[in-house]
Structure 1
Amino acid sequence: MRRALFTLVPLLAVLIVSAREPAKPVPAASISPAARDRGVYHLADDAEARWVPFDLTPGNQIRFTMQLEGRDVTAILDTGVSYTLLAKASPAVDTAKLVAGGSARAIGGSVELGWMPTRTLAIGGLARTGGGVTVTDLPAIATGSLSAVDLLVGADLLAGHALDIDYAAHRFRLLPSGRLPFKGGAAPLRVSPERSVYESTATLGGRRLAPVIVDTGDGSSITVTKDGWKAAALNVPSTTAISFGLAGPAVSGLAIAPDVRLGELTAHAVEVRIEPAGGFSQSIGVAGRIGSGFLQNYRVLLDPGARRMVLSPGPKAGTPPLRSTSGLLVGVEKNRLKILHVMRGGPAAASGWKDGDTICTIDGTPIPPDYATSPVASWSAGAPGRIVALGLCDGTIRKLELTHFY
């Protein structure tokens, strides 16, 4: 079963770095990541057998362990990141090697970057010698967890090979480009020369949207620009939601689209985020994103070298998306829940809830340490007509009747 809490609050970790080469020699600290040493890559002969186990964060992101400079580090697989990013707070940062590296666009605004050269890096059957990583602040909220990860593994490390993600078995592997380990619906895929991320196309309401970023680091399902949603002309109700990127929060529209087509595959009843005018996608010149909230319903092959993405339906494909019936999107803060967003048109908005309110009990039960994966979390998308007693941390009890509203 999907997690009720963060399926409704997908957390994003998208980073786009300029890939332009410098026009003339400049100091090392100001050279873009694209102009730095890219390193030497080697895929082991037995890479096919070297599956990497992972778990899904509460924000639907692929979290796993890899090696940096011979030490284990935690990482997120993020095809929406141009260049692999190391958290500034990670013990793996060598401050003696760290130099300033400019800035980058991210969801919520922009972030300052550093650059750190590396000697060795390894993921499953793939090893790299030389090269380096970008460095910036990577807060825990970017993964929906109470603890942060060390790395976001980006397109620079992944794009030279085929990436086989078996969501049902919670494992992935890197293969030689051109391999086709399973059958499924194919859609176009490339690494954009402008943005250095994975891109495809999608069709919504008969309207072709291109390009759309294929972003395993985005915990939401499908995201489109306001113009794209308007062009699709879908007559369905909508509400609002909040997401979190490296640069902070962003509020978007939220609706359930009757169908979305990706190449040969048609998916029904798909959750769609609608970015406001001037939002992240529009600012970088794309029509939207395909996130892990959608991809996790399939076994996925991403092979930009062979120009294809292949999707094979998994056990959860065809399951209707979980919808909020409370109208409250919450985050976990130790023994309490903090209201991150009150959804437009929902029962919580009608009864006066505000962003920042805190909840310490649900129907008299204190918030457990494992709230995000506990049965208690299901209240926010419970059966319409149920009345939930929510205990605020000041001792006040508020009752909320759950309702379908989008």
Structure 2
Amino acid sequence: MRRLAAPLMLLALLGAAEPPLRTVPPVSILATDAEARWVPFDLTEGNQIRFTMTVDGHPATAILDTGVSYSVMSRRYAAATGERIVEHGTADAIGGAVPLAWAATRKLVLGGVTRTGGRIAVVELPAIATGESMPVDLLVGRDLIGRYALDIDYDAHRFRLLASGRLPFTGVTAPLAISATRQVYESEVTLGGRRIRPMIVDTGDGSSITFSADAWKGLAAADRTMTTAISFGLGGPIVTDLAVVPQLRLGQLTAPDVEVRVERGGGFSQGVGAAGRIGASFLQRYRVLLDPGAGRMVLAPGRTATAPPLKSTSGLLVRADGRRLDVLHVMRGSPAAATGWQGGEAICSIDGKAIPQDYRRSAIASWSVGQPGRIVALGLCNGDTRDLTLASFY
């Protein structure tokens, strides 16, 4: 079931300082049968790729995050597995800087790749980062996967790592490189006739396209009707402006009806010297090959390549918490904003039906993007009921 791509989780981590930690130099080996070693995944509530791998023989749930320069282990997982950590430094993350620790690793196994030796960053990875009740153990980033071609088949919910230079399917191409300074995957887009770069290619960012305030300034698209949305990074929540543009180019690809977010001045992208990010909500419309060693991204249309983005008609961005919906943000100019809704309120029923435990996968979850003019009765957890008339507002 397609769902509104907000609130979204942003897991970029850049600028990590080298720790005073003695480790064995890392060695990565790609199995001879790597092409057959598909890794199955599911998409989190925040649109990230979640899968299982092993760390020093222990199973771990992980997010595939090309916006992370150094792979990350959660402090919770490090404590549970008895990893020795060394506190050292901070890193730039979406929402603010985060304190870092480091741990030596002996053996990481991910699909057809085995890495022995090396180190991994250790930070707090809260459950809010995936929008679900259970936190993940790892973020797998550039240091583990950057030397290979990454083939992501979103429609089949699987990915694999291949030797750089392989071309397992045909599609349109766009430039791709690993930044020498930021050490993450980067490309460029064209909007309104303007070439915008560098754009971080970030599978851990659940949004579609995000621009810095500087990159957005003066664009022909900047006069479009905009609203607001909330996202959550490792450094905390951020509010961005949001619009839908009729067309955007990524290399040879022309994509219709693209949701874009615009960071406020001094946001994460501007702070690290990037023009913005290409996120998972955009990428999952395609089968994607990310091969920085060959200098290319390859995209083939998936089932939802031409589907318009889901647009809220309520203006309430919520997160399921058991059998209630917590209001995280009220979108500017929306029906909810016009009728006085506030962040922090909680909904326990919709049109008289209690919020189900599996809300995210239930048909009831489509109410917030319903037909304009529909009146939805929202039962608050304090016993009050409010009617909300849905409408198009951006």
Q: TM-score, normalised by structure 2?
A: 0.97
The amino acid of 1:194's aligned partner reads: T
Matched-pair contact (CA < 8 Å) for 1:211–1:286 = yes
**Structure 2 residue aligned with 1:368:** 356
Aligned counterparts of 1:299 and 1:186: Cα–Cα separation in 2: 12
Matched-pair contact (CA < 8 Å) for 1:207–1:231 = no
**Structure 2 residue aligned with 1:141:** 128
- The reply to whether residue 28 of structure 1 matches residue 23 of structure 2 is no
Aligned counterparts of 1:8 and 1:132: Cα–Cα separation in 2: 33
Out of 354, 361, 371, the position equivalent to 2:342 is 354
Out of 220, 228, 231, the position equivalent to 1:240 is 228
Aligned counterparts of 2:298 and 2:218: Cα–Cα separation in 1: 27
Out of 57, 62, 65, the position equivalent to 2:49 is 62
User: Structure 2: any 5+ residue segments left out of the alignment?
Assistant: none
What is the CA distance between 1:146 and its match in structure 2? 1.0
**Structure 1 residue aligned with 2:29:** 42
What is the CA distance between 1:232 and its match in structure 2? 1.7
Aligned counterparts of 1:287 and 1:93: Cα–Cα separation in 2: 39
Does 183-192 or 225-234 show the bigger shift? 225-234
Out of 288, 295, 298, the position equivalent to 1:300 is 288
- The reply to whether residue 2 of structure 1 matches residue 39 of structure 2 is no
Aligned counterparts of 2:76 and 2:315: Cα–Cα separation in 1: 34
Out of 76, 84, 89, the position equivalent to 1:102 is 89
Map residues 215-234 of structure 1 onto 2, 5 A cutoff: 215-234=202-221
What is the CA distance between 1:72 and its match in structure 2? 1.3
Out of 368, 373, 376, the position equivalent to 1:380 is 368
Out of 73, 76, 83, the position equivalent to 2:63 is 76
The amino acid of 1:8's aligned partner reads: A
What is the CA distance between 1:92 and its match in structure 2? 6.6
**Structure 1 residue aligned with 2:301:** 313
**Structure 2 residue aligned with 1:166:** 153
Aligned counterparts of 1:127 and 1:367: Cα–Cα separation in 2: 43
Aligned counterparts of 1:96 and 1:117: Cα–Cα separation in 2: 8
**Structure 2 residue aligned with 1:24:** none
Aligned counterparts of 1:96 and 1:371: Cα–Cα separation in 2: 36
The count of corresponding residues between Structure 1 and Structure 2 is 393
SS at match of 2:371: coil
What is the CA distance between 1:38 and its match in structure 2? 4.8
| CA shift digits 1:280-299 (9 cap, x unpaired) | 10000000000000000000
Aligned counterparts of 2:225 and 2:349: Cα–Cα separation in 1: 31
Map residues 265-276 of structure 1 onto 2, 5 A cutoff: 265-276=253-264
Aligned counterparts of 2:298 and 2:25: Cα–Cα separation in 1: 28
What is the CA distance between 1:94 and its match in structure 2? 4.8
Q: TM-score, normalised by structure 1?
A: 0.94
- The reply to whether residue 156 of structure 1 matches residue 143 of structure 2 is yes
Out of 250, 260, 264, the position equivalent to 2:252 is 264
| CA shift digits 1:136-191 (9 cap, x unpaired) | 10001101111001000010001010000000000000000000111111111111
What is the CA distance between 1:394 and its match in structure 2? 0.6
Q: Stretches of 4+ moved more than 6 A in 1? A: none
What is the CA distance between 1:372 and its match in structure 2? 1.3
SS at match of 1:237: coil
Q: Residues 96 and 186 (structure 1 numbering): CA distance in 2 closer, same or farther, change over 3 Å?
A: closer
